[in-house]
Amino acid sequence: MIPSAYPTKEEIARLSARMLLEIKAVDFNTETPFKLASGLLSPSYVDCRKLISYPRIRATLMDFLTITVMRNAGFEAFDNIAGGETAGIPFAALVAERMALPMTYVRKKPKGYGRNARIEGVMTEGQRVLLVEDLTTDGGSKISFVDAIRDTGASCGHTAVIFYYDIFPETEKTLGDHGVQLHSLCTWWDVLAEARAQGSFDAATLDEVESFLKAPRAWQDARKAAD
pTM of the model: 0.93
Distance CA 70, CA 53 (A): 25
> What residues make up the domain containing 125?
9-217
Is residue 165 in a domain? yes
Q: Is residue 160 part of a domain?
A: yes
Instruction: With respect to residue 225, please indicate whether it lies within any of the assigned structural domains.
Output: no
pLDDT at 226 over 90: no
pLDDT, tens digit (0-9, with 9 covering 90-100), for 40-56: 789 999 999 999 999 99
Task: Report which of residues 225 and 203 the model is more confident about.
Answer: 203
Residue 146 belongs to a domain: yes
Beta-strand ranges (E) seen in the chain are: 26-28, 34-35, 41-42, 44-46, 80-84, 103-106, 119-120, 128-136, 155-164, 181-187
Contacts 24+ apart (CB under 8 A), 170-179: 170/138, 170/139, 171/136, 171/137, 171/138, 171/139, 172/139, 174/138, 174/139, 174/140, 174/143, 175/139, 175/142, 175/143, 178/143, 178/146
pLDDT tens per residue across span 61-100 = 999 999 999 999 999 999 999 999 999 999 999 999 999 9
Q: CB under 8 Å to 155, separation ≥6 — which residues? A: 126, 127, 128, 129, 149
CATH number reported for the structural domain that contains residue 85 in this entry = 3.40.50.2020
Is residue 222 domain-resident? no
- Cis before 124 (ω within 30): no
Total tally of structural domains belonging to the chain: 1
226 in a domain, yes or no? no
Q: What tens digit of pLDDT does each residue of 185-200 get? A: 999 999 999 999 999 9
Per the CB < 8 A criterion, the answer to whether 88 and 132 are in contact is yes
